[in-house]
Amino acid sequence: MEFKFTDENFNQEALESKNLVIVDFYADWCGPCKMMAPIIEELANEYNGSVKIGKLNVDDNPATAQKYRVMSIPTILFLKNGAVVDTIIGAVSKNQIEGKIETNK
């Protein structure tokens, strides 16, 4: 199951992680975000233990979304050693996300 990131736990759970971290910035009302939800969950299960994959609700956690200048959703950030190493904006295929995981792992 995907991890739930919040403004409160983001530094510890995302920025201080030793593994690659993938954060899906979404909102409950966003159609493309709903399309991405099963893909994110599937990847979280497949990469469990080697890559931390989770979601951050931009409506409930505006500080983190603002910090990373998330202007449209879904936005997927790839973080490694506390820094953004890649970004995907918009709904994409599972294969596209997997390709970025393998490139940045």
Residue 29: what are its φ and ψ, rounded to 5°? -85, -5
Contact 39, 98 (CB under 8 A): no
User: Which tokens hold the place of 69?
Assistant: 């200048």
> Catalytic residue at 85?
no
Catalytic residue among 21, 22, 23, 33: 33
Q: Which residues, in sequence order, are bridge partners of residue 13?
A: none
Catalytic residue among 14, 21, 22, 30: 30
> Catalytic residue at 99?
no
Q: What angle do CA 101, 104, 105 make, to 5 degrees?
A: 75
- Could you give the CA distance from residue 11 to residue 2 in angstroms, rounded to a whole number? 17
Contact 72, 89 (CB under 8 A): yes
Q: Which residues are catalytic?
A: 30, 33
